[in-house]
Structure 1
Amino acid sequence: MTESRPATSGTIAETTAWRPAAHFTARATWLNDPNGLVYHRGTYHLFFQNNPHGSSWGNISWGHATSTDLVNWTELPVAIPCTDEEMVFSGSAVVDHRNTAGFAADTETALVAVYTSATTAADGTGRQAQSLAYSVDDGATWSRYAGNPVLDIGSAEFRDPKVFWYGGDDGHWVMVVVEATEHRVVVYTSPDLKTWQRVSAFGPAHATGGVWECPDLFPLRVAGTQETRWVMIVSLNPGSFAGGSGTQYFVGDFDGVNFTPEHLTASDQLVDYDWLDYGRDYYAAVSFSDVPDGRRFMVGWASNWEYAGETPTSPWRSSMSLVREVDLVRSPDGRHRIRQRPVLPNDASRLDLPPGATAVASGGDSATDDGGAADDGGAAGVLVFSMRVDAGDSATFVLDGGADGEPADGEGLRITVDGNAGTISCDRTGAGDTGFHPAYASVDWAPLPPSDDDADVELRIVVDASVVEVYTGDGLVALTELVFPARPYRRLTRG
């Protein structure tokens, strides 16, 4: 959870009820893509695109937060600030266990950030190149490498490096980075993080309606087997399944040089591709490096570039998604698909919704730093609703801010399972404040995951102030939606 902060006055007080508890938000500034996700000495580090000076995009630097449980986050001072010459765009961080870059002394271990330097030349043209910063005090302070940039191809659309070590002691560093307008993920290798050689490329493939961004490449276990496959993550803006920005993925093999997908289709239908999230508000998702026991955790930005700069919160703007643990399952149609399970706070209120019933979270205002109650409309913290729809049946659930026995007031998020069409949808056209941008009010849908014909549809809905995450098929399908209700959502009714 983001550390609790009391409401003060004016606009800040008005949007307190919309600040999530378990979805990380910056204290009082703008936030977008997650960066540099790494586990080191018992601590998860979350860096993120941040404007330290305001709640709109600009002055882009790397913000920094840490956690020991992936739920409770402490925001720290800006790690890598922008300068007059450079904004610090997205990238990744690694633990240089072998000291290949030579940044650490004998008793030290270096964390190395690989990020995109975004600069503007005297003639007004942009330039994007890859640079390094390093820390030898467990991420507390960072220094830029004097030899920056370490990879420059003279492009204005070359960004978002994700770096990892491949192989044992005789292995090498691998970087995946996008040539954004070419819809291409390029693979580079290096012995030392400083000198890089281009060795292969992947793409264009599947969705190419906007620029490609924020790639990731990692091995992932197939549940119930000893098998491991590789997953390539590619974000897209615009042109995603739900409209605007979104994140697709490919499953295949990687030999240290080449990524080979196991499934590509010639279809031009977005529904035929694999998407990490079918909602409007999940983008730039990447995974944590160096997590013990081979586990893989991911987090995305819970917003959409179509309207991210106009969401009605202040002084903070935007949050991360919940952290999700991922693995692979082989679905009945024979394809490997990513399964996502959110990491939830221990104090989340869990409510089951029997058929035809209503589930309502108990009241209680959110706490302020002094232990009192904030005047936020009675936010109920993180709620988790679980329910089941019979195979082949259809049902609509309404999530709203009403109390038990209170009539509906017409406002709410409507979630519909259509057994005949094999779809699930989220209708937020009546979900609170919808007028701040014409692209916001939407009805978003996803195909239900392949299953046995007689399998019931299980739903889990996580509600955290202004962010709702919907999971079905044991996490094979997810939809993330922003909402800005007049009253915090705490009731779920089956229509």
Structure 2
Amino acid sequence: MTSIPTTDTAALRPVAHFTAKNSWLNDPNGLLHHDGTYHLFFQTNPHGTTWGNISWGHATSTDLVTWTEQDLAIPFTEDEMAFSGSAVVDARNTAGFAKEGETALVAIYTSAKDGSQSQSLAFSLDEGETWTRYAGNPVLDIGSAEFRDPKVFWYGGDDGHWVMVAVEAVAKKVVLYTSSDLRHWTFASDFGPAHAVGGVWECPDLFPLIVEGTTRTRWVLIVSMNPGGIAGGSGTQYFVGDFDGASFVPERLVDSNDLADFDWLDYGRDYYAAVSFNDAPDGRRLMVGWASNWDYANVTPTSPWRSSMSLVREIRLIASTDGVHRIAQRPVLPREVEGLQVFELSVPSGVGNRHAVVLSGVDEERLVITIDGDDRSISCDRTASGQIAFHESFPSVDWAPLPNGTTDSLDLLIVVDGMIVEIYAGGGLVTMTEQVFPSEPFGSLRVEPLAR
């Protein structure tokens, strides 16, 4: 089912979630901090508002909230589209692209050609303003049509090495390779299939986090999947474990057919392909996801742009009361931005309590978040949120568990930014991201007790 917007959607363009000015946008890639500037690269179609002609767009920020769109970084060519990947600061000049006094930024991306996916390089010697494809591309080709989305990072000190985390998508495997120079790669190990396997695996990430309140370090492996997510369609799961520079070993694997038994980065319909920034200052782990879902991404009713990123989120690792390590997320928010609504509240969540948190606008349009103390659940109902008929799978009621350890009350942080609603429950141990398309952005919130 398709839809052409008949009304002006400018009022729904987010102010703190990045959108491309007048084109299609999907996965974030190449997230990088260098010399005081955050670089957000992203999949884009420079010639339209649906998927195609895939290239690397580019935006920069100094505060993670206000973004300036730059010229295309890696445009598509007649025989190649530039699929998702990552970017690094080659401070040791391991690839040899920089001359004396220069520092090379190197992008590692998937070259998508007829029936083939392989990994290639592009480099910039002017702080990311312009990019040059490496003449020796591809640098890693295993003869596959489903081998993509490399996330690359440096492991160890001066005697360390580069690690590439990619996917063999249809096989539902994360594959790890190592390199000393970014040009030559050696297979190290693989992981999977495991946990949710209802769709292809995409957009992996792997990074260390110190368990909050301790000195222990664990590694987190992010795996996006489409379809088969917890809310339907696209979804992003994670595993916690150990990494020795070559292989990842999860600390727990659950033998279950119930998606609710696995760890999900977000329980909403619209959070996918999340990856983290390389070289973020002060040891922070900062992540961005694509705030959409492949079920209906090509037909969401906005113009002349389509899709946005999530807010940047700071990622922490918590040892929960049941002994399981879980991710907690908090948004990077400005003190005040015109058009951005931020609600903080506490809702009763003990046994016998059931409350609705209602975000509303005009003409009875609303998003209803229900906190059920008996079912120990959170649900998010967008079936009356505005325009919903553009795709049969859009009007949804999505479910999440109450965060582990929740007792008599649940703390909520809700961010409303045009067409995007982000919900953080229990200090961010559970999050839900939902697109909505009301006549006007939701501006009010009320809490209502519900009968059992």
Q: Same fold (TM over 0.5)?
A: yes
Partner Cα distance (2:369, 2:162) in 1 = 44
Structure 2 equivalent of residue 396 of structure 1: 356
| SS of 1:249 mapped into structure 2 | strand
Q: Do structure 1's residue 101 and structure 2's residue 95 form an aligned pair?
A: yes
Residue 256, structure 1, aligned to residue 210, structure 2 = no
**5+ long unaligned stretches in structure 2:** none
> 1:391 Cα deviation (Å)?
3.7
1:107-156 deviation per Cα after TM superposition (whole angstroms, max 9, x unaligned): 00000000000001xxxxx1000000000111000000000000000100
Within the candidate set 173, 176, 184, 1:184 is matched to 173
Structure 1 counterpart of 2:208, one-letter code: P
1:218 aligns to 2:210 (yes or no): no
Q: What's the CA shift string for 1:404-423, capped at 9, x where partnerless?
A: xxxxx432001100010000
Q: Would the aligned equivalents of 2:388 and 2:437 in 1 still touch at CA under 8 Å?
A: yes
Q: Please say if 1:53 is aligned against 2:47.
A: yes
SS at match of 2:70: strand
Question: In structure 2, what is the Cα distance between the partners aligned to 1:131 and 1:12?
Answer: 41
Q: 1:445: how far off?
A: 0.9
State the alpha-carbon separation in 1 of the partners of residues 52 and 79 from structure 2. Answer: 14
- Give runs of ≥4 in structure 1 deviating > 3 Å: 10-13
Letter in 2 for 1:494: V
- Look up the match of 1:162: 151
The residue number in structure 2 matching 1:72 is 66
Q: Name the CA distance, whole Å, in 1 between partners of 2:65 and 2:347.
A: 30
1:231 pairs, out of 220, 223, 235, with: 220
2:142 counterpart residue number = 153
Distance (Å, rounded) in 1 between the aligned partners of 2:364 and 2:323: 42
**What letter corresponds to residue 374 of structure 2 in structure 1?**
N
**Aligned equivalents of 1:344 and 1:208: distance in 2?**
34
Report SS of the residue matched to 1:130: strand
Task: Give the superposition deviation at 1:196.
Answer: 0.3
Pick one of 417, 421, 426 that aligns with 2:371. Answer: 417
Equivalent residue letter for 2:118: A
Counterparts in 2 of 1:384-463, with a 5 A limit?
A: 384-392=342-350, 393-402=353-362, 409-451=363-405, 454-463=407-416
Match for residue 381 of structure 1?
339
Alpha-carbon offset, residue 389 of structure 1: 1.6
Deviations 1:198-241 (A, max 9, x none): 01000000000000000000001211111211000000000000
Structure 1 unaligned blocks of 5 or more: 1-9, 121-125, 349-379, 403-408
2:60–2:67 contact (8 Å) kept in structure 1: yes
1:18 Cα offset (Å): 1.1
Read off the aligned partner of 1:186 and give its amino acid letter.
V
Taking the aligned partners of 1:17 and 1:445, their CA distance within structure 2 comes to 28
Q: Residue deviations 1:366-420, cap 9 Å, x none?
A: xxxxxxxxxxxxxx61111111122412100111115xxxxxx432001100010
TM-score, normalised with respect to structure 2: 0.96
Q: Is the 8 A contact 2:349 2:371 kept in 1?
A: no
Structure 1 residue 334 displacement after superposition: 0.5
Q: For residues 335-372 of structure 1, give each alpha carbon's deviation from its aligned partner in whole angstroms, at most 9, with x where no partner exists.
A: 11001000112214xxxxxxxxxxxxxxxxxxxxxxxx
Aligned match of 1:5: none
Q: Which amino acid aligns with 1:439?
A: S
Task: State the partner residue of 1:127.
Answer: 116
Amino acid at match of 1:390: P
Residue 488 of structure 1 aligns with which residue?
Answer: 441
User: Secondary structure at the residue paired with 1:451?
Assistant: coil
Matched, 1:301 2:290: yes
Cα offset, 1:21, TM superposition: 0.4
Pick which of 219-228 and 264-273 moved more.
Answer: 219-228
Root mean square deviation, CA, Å: 1.2
- CA shift at 1:487, angstroms? 2.1
Q: How much does 1:264 deviate?
A: 0.7
The one-letter code of the counterpart of 1:16 is A
Please give the alpha-carbon distance, in whole angstroms, between the structure 1 residues aligned to 2:100 and 2:365. 61
Deviates more, 1:393-402 or 1:71-80: 393-402
In the other structure, the counterpart of 2:27 is: 33
SS of residue in 2 equivalent to 1:169 = coil
Judge conservation of contact 2:12–2:440 (CA < 8 Å) in 1.
no
2:23–2:44 CA contact under 8 A, matched in 1: yes
Superposition deviation, residue 11 in structure 1 = 6.0
Is this contact kept in 2: 1:390–1:456, CA < 8 A? yes
Q: Distance in 1 between matches of 2:371 and 2:309?
A: 26
The 8 Å contact of residues 382 and 464 in structure 1, kept in 2 or not, is answered as yes
For residues 45 and 274 of structure 1, do their structure 2 counterparts lie closer, same or farther at Cα, with a shift above 3 Å needed? Answer: same
SS, match of residue 432 in structure 1: coil
1:245 aligns with 2:234: yes
Distance 2:230 2:321 in 1: 23
**One-letter code aligned to 2:51:** W
CA contact (8 A) 1:213 1:235 kept: yes
2:133 match: 144
* Partner Cα distance (2:441, 2:117) in 1: 42
Name the aligned partner's letter for residue 427 of structure 1. D
Residue identity in the other structure for 2:426:
G
Aligned residue pairs total 443
Write the letter of the residue equivalent to 2:280. V
AA aligned opposite 2:439:
A
2:400 is aligned with what amino acid?
A
Pair 1:464 & 2:417 matched? yes
Q: Distance in 1 between matches of 2:7 and 2:400?
A: 35
Displacement, 1:77?
A: 0.5
Offset at residue 292 of structure 1 (A): 1.7
TM-score with structure 1 setting the length: 0.88
| Partner AA of 1:260 in structure 2 | V
- 1:455 Cα deviation after fit: 4.3
| Contact residue 349 and residue 372 of structure 2 kept, 8 A | no
The answer to which of 384-393 and 109-118 deviates more is: 384-393
Indicate the SS of the match to 1:77: coil
Cα distance in 2, alignment partners of residues 425 and 465 from structure 1? 21
Deviation at residue 449 of structure 1 after TM alignment: 1.1
